[in-house]
Amino acid sequence: MGSQRFFASGVPREPIASKFLHGYGVSVKIWFEGELDERNWVWDFGGFKRAKGKIDGMNPKDWMTWLLDHTTIIADDDPHLGLFQEMDDDGLIQLRVIPATGAERFAEYIYDRVNAFITKETNNRVKVVQVEFREHEKNTALYKG
C-alpha cells in the first residue's frame, strides 16, 4: 500500500487527496461544433443510439453506459490492478481500466474517444469542442482538444 508511484518520465507522483477507494455519481457534458445537416442540426443526440460507427466495438450510448454505469475505474498502472481484476472475475465489481484517472484525465479520455467517433460518423462535418467531466458539484474538469 504505501509504495511510491512515478510518472512515466520518472518524476514521483504527489499523493492524492483521497487514497481510499471511493465513488462518485458523475456526469459528462459534450460540446459539438460543426456545419448544420439537412435537418439544420449540428448533431442528433439520438444518433448515439443509431450510430453506424462504434467506440471500442460498441455504439456510443452503450459505450458511455459500459464506461460509467456502476463501474470501478482504475489506471492501467495501478499497483493493485491484479486485486481489482480478481474482484471483477468474481463478479464483485465491473472493472474498467484506462490509461489514467482523475477528472481531468477522464475528460480527456472521453474527448479522445467521442471525437474520433463523431468526426468519422459525420465525415468530418462535426467535431467535439470540449468535454466536461463532473465528479460532484465542487469538482469539475473541462478538456478542450
Cell numbers at 62, concatenated:
452503450
Q: Which residues make Cβ contacts (< 8 Å) with residue 121, sequence separation at least 6?
A: 47, 51, 52, 53
The domain defined by 27-144 folds into Tetrahydropterin Synthase; Chain A (3.30.479)
For the entire predicted model, the pTM comes to: 0.82
Domains of the chain, by residue range, sit at 27-144
Burial label for 28, CB within 10 Å (0-12, 13-18, 19+), is middle
Mean pLDDT of the region 91-99? 95
Confidence check: pLDDT of 1 > 50: no
Cell numbers at 1, concatenated:
500500500
Mean pLDDT is lowest, of 2-16, 42-56, 106-120, for: 2-16
CA distance 52 to 59: 8
pLDDT given at position 138: 78
Query: Hey, what amino acid is at 39?
Result: R
CA distance 41 to 120: 17
Confidence check: pLDDT of 30 > 80: yes
- DSSP strand pairing (72-75 vs 95-98): parallel
Mean pLDDT of the region 45-56? 88
Model confidence band, residue 139 (pLDDT cutoffs 50, 70, 90) = confident
Q: Of 17 and 21, which is predicted with more confidence?
A: 21
